Amino acid sequence: MSALLAGTAMRTKVGDRSAKQVLEHLCNYADENDRAWPSVSTLADECECSPSTVQRALRYLEDAGLLERDTEYGTRYGADRSPYVYHITIADAEKIIYTHQRAKTKKANRARARKKRGSTSDTPRGIATATPRGSTHDHDGVAHMTPRGVAPTHERGSTSDTQTYIEHSLRTSRESTRAKTTTIDAQTNPRRQALADLTPDPTHRALADRLGLDLDSELEKFRDRCLADGRLPADPAAALRLWLRRGRELGLGTTPGEEPGDELTRRARRLVETSTILKRRQPDRASRMRWVPAVRRLLAEGREAVDVVGLISSGDPDELAAIGLDLDDIDRIA
């Protein structure tokens, strides 16, 4: 009996998801008289919800008329712990209308509406459409002539005329492409010309001499880099000064008062200028630059740059003296 009642509950419209779940569980406990008395805690455990949710669902079902409390029906429990007995009354409750049933109902309603209005395409029974005997395209043997060079005219609104549909191309026209290219060239060419006409001024000469850089060589490098990257500066003169300063930051050029050396000299100078450990040992750059000859000798002996930095930063005084470094040139910082 409970299985039949549970199936009826599934097809009953409740209006609340939690209440319907509780109703289905009550139907599983129902006897042959449609009565059930599971405890609230049992329903809460089986429905995986809180007892308050079960109590709220029971009140909702009572208000909807789907449950009734039966106070006269006795149970096998004692009076001190007897649960409520619920009489499930869903026989006359509103049933669920399934989706396919709604579709059939709508289709039937439309058919009834069409039948009530009547069909506009029907022809009265027994009445046939009369057609004049003979061809309707006869022209008494005379062909209609159109004056030469004159196109035939049709009445306005005729739907039998063939019209030419012009499909617009989605491709960009060559004229617009050329216009954009011309605009870009007009903006770029002045900068390209200014870069080509760039002539170092006295400020560039003085800066290159102070930094020990070959101005003519750096100018060619500067032009090539701008053209290769496509980044043409608005002020080439200022950009060239920045280029020279940046070269000095990268360790290019020579120190004032020194002659340009070979590759080992450049490596030694770059190591002395960029090593953070050596900067901590001697913050003064001029004093550090006096270490360049000694560092060059160490590099010429095949020592790695890491070993050279470690020797200078924490080397023995005798070892430092052997490589030409006097302790007076080194400020030991703890």
Q: What is the pLDDT of residues 252-275, one digit of tens each?
A: 555 544 444 578 888 888 888 888
| Residue 213 and residue 232 in one domain | yes
Question: Mean pLDDT across the stretch 172-191?
Answer: 58
Whether 151 shows a pLDDT value over 70: the answer reads no
pLDDT, residue 58, reads 92
Q: What angle do CA 87, 90, 96 make, to 5 degrees?
A: 155
More confident residue, 132 or 40: 40
| Residue 7 and residue 83 in one domain | yes
Both tokens of 10, joined, read 């599934």
| Residue 228 and residue 277 in one domain | no
Whether 126 shows a pLDDT value over 90: the answer reads no
Kindly report which listed range (30-39, 59-68, 182-191, 240-249) carries the lowest average pLDDT score: 182-191
| Residue 243 and residue 204 in one domain | yes
Looking at 70, 88, 106, which one is the last position of a domain?
88
| Residue 238 and residue 289 in one domain | no
In a domain, 20, yes or no: yes
In a domain, 211, yes or no: yes
Helices (H), 139-283: 174-196, 202-211, 215-229, 236-249, 263-274, 276-281
pLDDT, residue 192, reads 87
Q: For residue 101, what are the CA distances in angstroms to 7, 12, 94, 98?
A: 18, 15, 15, 5
In a domain, 158, yes or no: no
CB count within 10 Å of CB 320 equals 18
CB count within 10 Å of CB 207 equals 17
- Report percent pLDDT > 70 for the chain: 68
DSSP 86: E
CATH classification at residue 26: 1.10.10.10
pLDDT, residue 179, reads 52
Q: How far is Cα 200 from Cα 332, in angstroms, rounded to an integer?
A: 44
Whether 50 shows a pLDDT value over 90: the answer reads yes
Whether 294 shows a pLDDT value over 60: the answer reads yes
More confident residue, 207 or 319: 207
What is the enclosing helix (H) or strand (E) of 4? helix 2-10
Question: Mean pLDDT across the stretch 154-167?
Answer: 55
pLDDT, residue 186, reads 46
The amino acid at residue 61 is L
In a domain, 258, yes or no: no
Q: For residue 215, what are the CA distances in angstroms to 94, 196, 258?
A: 97, 16, 17
Name residue, tokens 């499909």: 167
| Residue 268 and residue 244 in one domain | no
In a domain, 189, yes or no: no
Q: How far is Cα 215 from Cα 217, in angstroms, rounded to an integer?
A: 6
Kindly report which listed range (26-30, 109-113, 185-189) carries the lowest average pLDDT score: 185-189
pLDDT band (50, 70, 90) for residue 182 = very low
In a domain, 274, yes or no: yes
DSSP string of 143-157, one letter each residue: PPP--TT-PPP--TT
pLDDT, residue 257, reads 46
| Residue 14 and residue 66 in one domain | yes
| Residue 246 and residue 267 in one domain | no
| Residue 212 and residue 238 in one domain | yes
Question: Mean pLDDT across the stretch 30-48?
Answer: 87
Looking at 68, 88, 108, which one is the last position of a domain?
88
| Residue 21 and residue 75 in one domain | yes
pLDDT band (50, 70, 90) for residue 149 = low
Work out the mean pLDDT of the chain and round it to a whole number.
Answer: 75
| Residue 39 and residue 17 in one domain | yes
In a domain, 17, yes or no: yes
In a domain, 175, yes or no: no
pLDDT band (50, 70, 90) for residue 243 = confident
pLDDT, residue 321, reads 74
Looking at 88, 105, 126, which one is the last position of a domain?
88
Whether 52 shows a pLDDT value over 90: the answer reads yes
Supply the range of the domain harboring residue 282: 263-329
pLDDT band (50, 70, 90) for residue 307 = confident
The angle, 0 to 180 degrees and rounded to 10, between the axes of the packed helices 305-314 and 292-300 is 130
- What's the burial of 23, exposed, middle or buried (CB within 10 Å: 0-12/13-18/19+)? buried
Q: How far is Cα 295 from Cα 164, in angstroms, rounded to an integer?
A: 87
- Domain count for the chain, please give it: 3
pLDDT band (50, 70, 90) for residue 313 = confident
| pTM of full prediction above 0.85 | no
The 10s digit of each residue's pLDDT in 86-114 is: 888 888 888 887 887 778 888 888 888 88
Question: Mean pLDDT across the stretch 126-150?
Answer: 55
Q: For residue 141, what are the CA distances in angstroms to 131, 137, 144?
A: 21, 11, 10
pLDDT band (50, 70, 90) for residue 334 = very low
| Residue 308 and residue 245 in one domain | no
